[in-house]
Chains A and B, each alone.
Chain A
Amino acid sequence: MMEEDRDGLLGVTAHTIRVTEAVRDGDSLTFIVISQKLSGSGEYHVARTHEDFQWLQECLFNPEEVPGILGVISPPLPAKPHLNAPTKDLKPLGFLVMGKDLGTYCKVLEIYLQQVAANTRLSKNKCLENFLTSPEAPGHQRVRKSIFNRLSQAMEGLRKEGHKDVDSFFQTERDNNFTLTGFSKTATERFVDVVLTEQKLAVACGHLSTCLHLCVEQRDDHAAQAFSKICVKLSGVVDSMQKNFENVSENNLSTLGLGLDLETRYHEAEKEMLFRRTCKLVELETASRNAERAKPIKKAAMDDLKMKSEKEFDQISGVAKQEIARFHSVHVMLLRQALILWCEKQLVTARETFTCYSQHLQAFRDLGE
């Protein structure tokens, strides 16, 4: 019910948000974001750069806006793709940039926006509506600041990461998250390797097919013609092998690859959230220690501070618990979706290839001496 209200505030329906294409203009990338008006008629078409997305992300987590906002697991915003960068540098981005025409990246952004809009706590934010509906690009100033914020947070994180939690639920969640993040990351990387190899195979098949075509000789004697025919047919086979590899790798990329990638980044987002909570915890502990040790004159102020921290922490923890529960179901659903889609697509491809191969085989069998 609450969501309905908030959606009303947002003015668009979450699942209608689309990132249709990425327009390249030199070094800059502009994404077209389309969303349907809640009223039912008409669509918002806006052009946004990656910086705009970053600004949105910062706005959403402006602590002043919503109590306990730090407990929200922010949907992961993919890192900025560097165009013209050598392949090696793209590797950390994994699947995101492997698709054709950055389609995959658009898809990822789309999922990000949908997740944000679907999140009850985040969708209230005016920035989101602004982002989705305003034809003007939002300002950039605060972005830089927040980047610095994040950096400093990361520095802090190294110190506070190992901090023991007071709540066993969060402690186990942190441990779990730690292992899962690691594993999903390796799985994703391995899968990237697989897809890359498949792409290489496709290329190799292409070369082989071309080479086979070169073997065709224009001679009129029987044996040579027979051999040429075999070469042509074989290059047909290799072509379909190539197609198969392309399809398989594309399938891998667009389904399970994306799923695994999202999984990884979600785990990282959860980790971030847990870390923010841990920071708050540390803050609270410091505050309570200070309050205990404080001189009577400052006692009140300290207590006040402690109370405030405690309240904040409790808020965060409360939100975090809900968010974690939500995250668990969301990530399972996402992964499930990816797996099913993947499996179906691969099945289709495998069957297609099978038919193709059997046709080739028949053609060869029919080939006379």
Chain B
Amino acid sequence: MATSSERSPPPFPDSEDQEPEPEEVGDHDSDDGEDIFLGSDDLLETKMASIPVGDAPAKTQSDPFCDLFSEPLMESAGAPKAQMDFTEKPASEMTIGSTQDVIEVKRDIAKAPEVVTDAATGLSERDIISKPRLDVERKPGKESTAPMVDVLMEPASKTSTAPMVDVLMEPASKTSTAPMVDVLMEPASKSSTAPMVDVLMEPASKSSTAPMVDVLMEPASKSSTAPMVDVFMEPAGKSSTAPMVDVLMEPASKSSTALKGDSISKPSSTSVVDLLCEPSSDNVKESKPDILDPLADVIQTAPGRNAKAPFAAVTEEPTRDLFDDTPSNLFAKSQPSKPAKHLQTSIFDDPDEDLFGEHLGDALKKPQNDASKGEAAPVAKARHVRGPLTDNHKEEGTDIFTEGSVTSHPSAVNRVVPANSKTNGVQSDEEEPDIFSEATVELSLDSPRNDRKRKEVANPSAPPAAVAANVTKPQPLTLEELEEEESEDKFELNISITNPEKVGDGMNAYMAYKVSTQTTLPMFRMKSFTVRRRFSDFLGLYEKLSDKHAQSGYIVPPPPEKSIMGMTKVKVGKEDNSSAEFVEKRRAALERYLQRVVCHPSLLQDPDVREFLERDDIPRAHSTQALSGAGFLKMINRATDAVSKMTIKMNESDVWFEDKLCEVEAEDQQLRKLHIMVESLVGHRKELSVNTAGFAKSVAMLGSSEDNTALSRALSQLAEVEDKMEQLHQDQATNDSFCFAELLADYIRLLGSVRASFDQRMKSWQRWQDAQNILQKKRETEAKLLWANKPDKLQQAKDEINEWEAKVTQYEKDFDRVSSTVRKEVLRFEKEKARDFKKQIIKYLESLLQSQQQLIKYWEAFLPEAKAIA
């Protein structure tokens, strides 16, 4: 206690020193980055100090605290201002708000420590702040600002109140429109924090102030681990719902991993050390010598927290141990502060920016707020967009995510800082316990009374810990597993096709189908909607999709084939069984087709799919004829031929593809054979049904002319039973056909698409090879020119070579990309296939069982009738 209280004073001098500076900053901030940074250093210190100090500090220091706080406010406000010029208001506002919050929190904390026993009040205040964010923020801001009204109030008050709300609210509101408000809220909160970080960061980068970065990092490190986990965890937990969430997921999972390693090691140890170093050095120099000890305390506490949170074991013992061990080490390290500082700044600079960009891009998806971030944000977005649409997941995706993870730590850390300081009104309640627990832990060290509180707090803090533990689990997930998770998302989207309806007359007639969608995906405007589509619309959709996606190696599910025969029958208006069956078959096939399309994570993102599902009327698809029936088959065959030809030419470097292609071919043959078998089975079943009907009829005749009344009765009963059985057989035939034959037909078509994707890969390989050949020729010509000593043409040749070199690399990249896509798609296809078959077979068996049960009932009912014959 004593140490901590002692420590608190040091900030005073800093703050005092800096108090004037903020004004300057406000004026010159763009120019005077150093000042800002100084301020920020203090800020860091103050924050660092304030939280820990606030817990322990003596009453007497309350005033100085205010000063201290005012300074950070000033600084931060100043920084935002500067940015405002360059960028946008929201950012600056954000920062102000956040700074205010920080101040408030600090104040609260300060109060709590003041009367150590009043920890409860502090708690309550915190709660208040966190929940009714806006209002609370304002009030404390005003209150807290009182001392520093002069400097800080002007910008803070102006911008903080309303703009703050805007900034914070925007992300929230945006996200809130989506169904997963909960999930998104956290991102929102993240984003809100993020801008602040940005603001802070920019000045830092501008003036390249090492301390600034440090400052940011420190708080991050302190409070970061646990809250960060929380923040990420929630999206992670709910991530399965939306694709966007998935994107977040991965960073989250990785971040968690990184968290353990990187965040703990780097931010906590190094940054903390830095922080400690700086303050220590600065403070020591500037302020009284006493400060050293208190600082040490602060440092101790900070590392302790850090260590504790990541480990998720929020128990007292570890913390204490940590306190015992780490502080000394840290402190020892902290002494050689300055050199380390610079290094770290450099280290941290990059991650921060990346982080920020990505983070914002993910969470906000809004450029507005990022005005301040300018470049970083758009970049992040671009990446983000790319991630889901293209297949970057595996290769680039991982990179991105790894970056993200690395970056995310800092971001999370940054966020955390506000969390501790309560700068972000949007922060989730869950984080609070953690914060509080930390605070309480400190308190407990000092005062036994607070132990109770601490325990109370410890409980709430436990869940985040558990969450953190969970987070670590998803880490080892392989990409495939991630994919699987993705594909399970499809259950969020149910598509059914119903009510086939004939529209028009004669040969111009067509069947219209009702396409109903039920979804919770945020990308759709409503939760359920219905459109009418005709068959050619489906074909049109396929055409669009295959135009767009087939090239890059995606397996685009093919629609059912056009059937002139079947459709003509329908058109002619024969209401017989076969045309009804045809329509039903097609309806089911279309349904399965659409479901396959939306099951595909990439295709689902396609605007055309959305349009197809959502828009009331879409332009009529033309020239779908080419895709229909025989034409379609021919196309596939041709593609197959082309593929086989090219395989001969192609020097297949990848055995996997070679094997796979053979497998696909073999499978195609097998499925075709199976299909024929099943079709014959269906045919026989139908025959059986017809024969049973004939038998039933003749038995009925026999019964009607039988003299013996009992026998006659039994025979007519038998006729009825046989009639029912006929129905059963017919149903079973339909089941066979729908569960098996159609499934096989679907997969035969799908295999066509699979081969097409192989074909695409070949094509892209061919292009690459061609480009290489051309490049080779160009080089030869260059050599000739060189030999002939024709410098005028030489330059042109060189240009061309450069051009083609670029192309070759581009094509090679394309080829690699397509290859990986094909590979992934084929794996996905196989997985889907197994799952699909299993599902269908279960369905089929259920139908078999049901009909068998029915059969048993029929026999049981008939047996007494037979026995009744006397």
Measured CA separation A222–B708 after assembly (Å): 65
A328 interface residue, CB < 8 Å from B?
yes
The segment out of A7-15, A211-219, A289-297 that lies at the interface is A211-219
- Interface digits, A214-245 against B, CB 8 Å rule (1 contact, 0 not)? 11010101111011001001100100010000
Known contacts A208-B681, A343-B862, A350-B852; is-contact A224 B698 (Cβ 8 Å): no
Known contacts A205-B681, A227-B834, A357-B849; is-contact A335 B711 (Cβ 8 Å): yes
A20 interface residue, CB < 8 Å from B?
no
B49 interface residue, CB < 8 Å from A?
no
Q: For A200, what are the chain B residues with a Cβ–Cβ distance below 8 Å?
A: 684, 687
A353 interface residue, CB < 8 Å from B?
yes
- A179 near B837 (CB under 8 angstroms)? no
A365 interface residue, CB < 8 Å from B?
yes
Known contacts A215-B670, A223-B827, A332-B711; is-contact A191 B869 (Cβ 8 Å): no
- B852 near A343 (CB under 8 angstroms)? no
Nearest B residue (CB) for A348? B859
B784 interface residue, CB < 8 Å from A?
no
- Interface digits, B407-425 against A, CB 8 Å rule (1 contact, 0 not)? 0000000000000000000
- B866 near A208 (CB under 8 angstroms)? no
The segment out of A63-71, A181-189, A269-277 that lies at the interface is A181-189
- A357 near B852 (CB under 8 angstroms)? yes
- A350 near B855 (CB under 8 angstroms)? yes
Measured CA separation A357–B841 after assembly (Å): 11
Known contacts A193-B695, A332-B869; is-contact A357 B848 (Cβ 8 Å): yes
Indicate the member of B845, B846, B849 with the most A CB atoms within 10 Å: B845
- B688 near A351 (CB under 8 angstroms)? no
A143 interface residue, CB < 8 Å from B?
no
Whole-angstrom distance between the Cβ of A211 and the nearest chain B Cβ: 5
Measured CA separation A342–B699 after assembly (Å): 15
B74 interface residue, CB < 8 Å from A?
no
Known contacts A208-B681, A237-B841, A350-B859; is-contact A183 B674 (Cβ 8 Å): no
CB < 8 Å neighbour of B830 from A197, A198, A224, A351: A224
Size class of the B contact interface (CB-based, 8 Å): 35 or more
CB < 8 Å neighbour of A180 from B697, B702, B718, B866: B702
- Interface digits, A325-356 against B, CB 8 Å rule (1 contact, 0 not)? 00010001001100110111011001101100
- A234 near B677 (CB under 8 angstroms)? no
Q: For B831, what are the chain A residues with a Cβ–Cβ distance below 8 Å?
A: 222-223, 226
Q: For A344, what are the chain B residues with a Cβ–Cβ distance below 8 Å?
A: 863
Measured CA separation A188–B598 after assembly (Å): 54
Known contacts A180-B706, A336-B866, A347-B859; is-contact A230 B838 (Cβ 8 Å): yes
CB < 8 Å neighbour of A179 from B674, B677, B705, B863: B705
Measured CA separation A193–B848 after assembly (Å): 23
Measured CA separation A364–B846 after assembly (Å): 11
- B674 near A215 (CB under 8 angstroms)? yes
- B681 near A204 (CB under 8 angstroms)? yes
Measured CA separation A89–B707 after assembly (Å): 33
A282 interface residue, CB < 8 Å from B?
no
- B691 near A190 (CB under 8 angstroms)? yes
- Interface digits, B696-723 against A, CB 8 Å rule (1 contact, 0 not)? 0111011001111011001000100000
- B834 near A230 (CB under 8 angstroms)? yes
Nearest B residue (CB) for A200? B684
- B849 near A361 (CB under 8 angstroms)? yes
Nearest A residue (CB) for B706? A180
Whole-angstrom distance between the Cβ of B830 and the nearest chain A Cβ: 4
- B680 near A183 (CB under 8 angstroms)? no
Whole-angstrom distance between the Cβ of A94 and the nearest chain B Cβ: 13
B867 interface residue, CB < 8 Å from A?
yes
Known contacts A197-B688, A215-B670, A367-B838; is-contact A187 B848 (Cβ 8 Å): no
> Which residues of A272-289 are within 8 A (CB) of B?
none
Whole-angstrom distance between the Cβ of B734 and the nearest chain A Cβ: 15
Known contacts A205-B681, A340-B863, A354-B853; is-contact A190 B705 (Cβ 8 Å): no
Q: For A183, what are the chain B residues with a Cβ–Cβ distance below 8 Å?
A: 698, 701-702, 705
B673 interface residue, CB < 8 Å from A?
yes
Q: For B692, what are the chain A residues with a Cβ–Cβ distance below 8 Å?
A: 194
Q: For A219, what are the chain B residues with a Cβ–Cβ distance below 8 Å?
A: 663
Measured CA separation A222–B480 after assembly (Å): 11
Known contacts A187-B695, A344-B863; is-contact A339 B841 (Cβ 8 Å): no
Nearest B residue (CB) for A226? B834
- A211 near B852 (CB under 8 angstroms)? no
A62 interface residue, CB < 8 Å from B?
no
B449 interface residue, CB < 8 Å from A?
no
Known contacts A227-B834, A343-B866, A361-B846; is-contact A212 B674 (Cβ 8 Å): yes
B835 interface residue, CB < 8 Å from A?
yes
> Closest 8 CB pairs between A and B?
A223-B830, A190-B695, A339-B866, A187-B698, A226-B834, A336-B869, A361-B845, A193-B691
| Interfacial residues, chain B to chain A (CB-CB below 8 A) | 663, 667, 670-671, 673-674, 677-678, 680-681, 684-685, 687-688, 691-692, 694-695, 697-699, 701-702, 705-708, 710-711, 714, 718, 827, 830-831, 833-835, 837-838, 841-842, 845-846, 848-849, 852-853, 855-856, 859-860, 862-863, 866-867, 869-870
- Please name 11 further chain A to chain B contacts, defined as beta carbons within 8 Å, in addition to the given A193-B694, A354-B852, sorted by A numbering: A183-B701, A184-B702, A187-B702, A207-B677, A215-B670, A222-B831, A336-B866, A343-B866, A350-B855, A357-B852, A361-B846
Q: Can you name 7 A-B residue pairings with CB atoms under 8 Å?
A: A224-B663, A227-B833, A233-B841, A332-B869, A335-B711, A336-B867, A354-B856
| Interfacial residues, chain A to chain B (CB-CB below 8 A) | 176, 179-180, 183-184, 186-187, 189-191, 193-194, 197-198, 200-201, 204-205, 207-208, 211-212, 214-215, 217, 219, 221-224, 226-227, 230, 233-234, 237, 241, 328, 332, 335-336, 339-340, 342-344, 346-347, 350-351, 353-354, 357-358, 360-361, 364-365, 367, 369
